[in-house]
Amino acid sequence: MTFRAVTKDDLPLIESLFVDDTSGQVAPPNPTWLEYVTSSENVYCIVHFDDNTPIAVTQFDLEDAAASMSVFIREGMRGKGLFSVIIKDALSVLPTRIRTVNAYISEANHPSVAAFKRFGFEGALEKDDDGLLIFTFDLTAH
């Protein structure tokens, strides 16, 4: 597997990840999103590939020593044990000032909740204003 930063020319590539998505839990990307993730110095957005085929996109929104993380894995690639590799690759690009990573997950998204827990994210005792579970990963402990 390989990965690289999302570029301003990647909208069709990123859109291709969402073609077969039936979850309805994530809005497909659009030009406004692409402009945001490619022009802000506080956003890291990465596309992940398997044999030159895009299989996932991860996004970090950085604030001080923390990052909020989102992950989208192409539906046909879910459940194949790729989550840990994708997350390790994504975490490797974060600046050293980042100490914690937060993931906000719908309580109904059981596979995602389980995957984040297996990776070592902790928490989910509280919810954000949108009712999403908050999981935290301490980079200083790993």
In angstroms, the CA 133 to CA 80 distance is: 24
Residue 87 DSSP symbol: H
pLDDT in tens, the chain (142 residues): 899 999 999 999 999 998 887 777 778 899 999 999 999 999 999 999 999 999 999 999 999 999 999 999 998 898 898 999 999 999 999 999 999 999 988 888 888 899 999 999 998 767 777 778 899 999 998 7
* pTM over cut 0.75: yes
Give the residue extent of every domain in the chain.
Answer: 2-141
Strand partners, 59: 45, 70
**Domain at 2-141: CATH code:** 3.40.630.30
Greatest alpha-carbon pair distance for the chain in Å reads 39
